[in-house]
């Protein structure tokens, strides 16, 4: 469980080596962006909670809309918070052309390592703060 940890974005290598994780709760963080393929190593995943995060539904998050339509592991309907014209629309309901980027520079990021115990083994996650 990584809920309520002020995580702001998920890198595509965040969950590397955690293929046995079945339940992942990212509820109530500050996640605005999730890198393409971020969940691809979670082969045993049966439930993921992505609710209550301020997602920026731009071109970098378009892949998630498609993934949410295909997968059956998501609990609830995570919603866009920005841009304003997509506010509160479920990410999977946003039309692909509406996931646009306006050319603003990508913000610099810092990193945090989060340690969690999974099945008695200590795992270190690289969590990127945007």
Domains of the chain, residue spans = 9-129
Please give the average per-residue pLDDT across 102-123, as a whole number.
47
Write the pLDDT tens digit of every residue in 32-83: 999 999 999 999 999 999 999 999 999 999 999 999 999 989 888 999 999 9
In which band, very low, low, confident or very high, does the pLDDT at 3 lie, cut at 50, 70 and 90? confident
- The full DSSP string for 65-113 is HHHHHH-S-EES--BEEESGGGTT-BGGGS-GGG-----PPPPP-EEEE
Q: What is the pTM of this model?
A: 0.76
Write the pLDDT tens digit of every residue in 95-111: 999 999 874 433 434 44
Taking the domain 9-129, which CATH number applies? 3.80.10.10
Question: Residue 107 has what pLDDT?
Answer: 40
Question: Residue 65 has what pLDDT?
Answer: 92
Write the pLDDT tens digit of every residue in 18-34: 999 999 999 999 999 99
65: CB partners within 8 A, 6+ apart: 57, 91, 92, 93, 94, 96, 99
């Amino acid at each position: 469980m990584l809920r309520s940890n002020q995580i702001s974005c998920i890198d595509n290598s965040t969950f590397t080596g955690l293929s046995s994780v079945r339940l992942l709760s990212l509820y109530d963080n500050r996640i605005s962006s999730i890198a393409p393929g971020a969940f691809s190593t979670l082969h045993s995943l049966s439930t993921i909670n992505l609710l209550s995060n301020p997602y920026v539904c731009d071109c970098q998050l378009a892949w998630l809309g498609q993934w949410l339509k295909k997968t059956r592991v998501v609990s609830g309907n995570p919603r866009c918070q920005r841009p304003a014209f997509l506010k509160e629309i479920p990410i999977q309901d946003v039309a692909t052309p509406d996931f646009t980027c306006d050319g603003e520079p990508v913000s610099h990021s810092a990193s945090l390592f989060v340690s969690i115990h999974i099945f008695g083994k200590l795992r270190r996650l690289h969590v990127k703060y945007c």
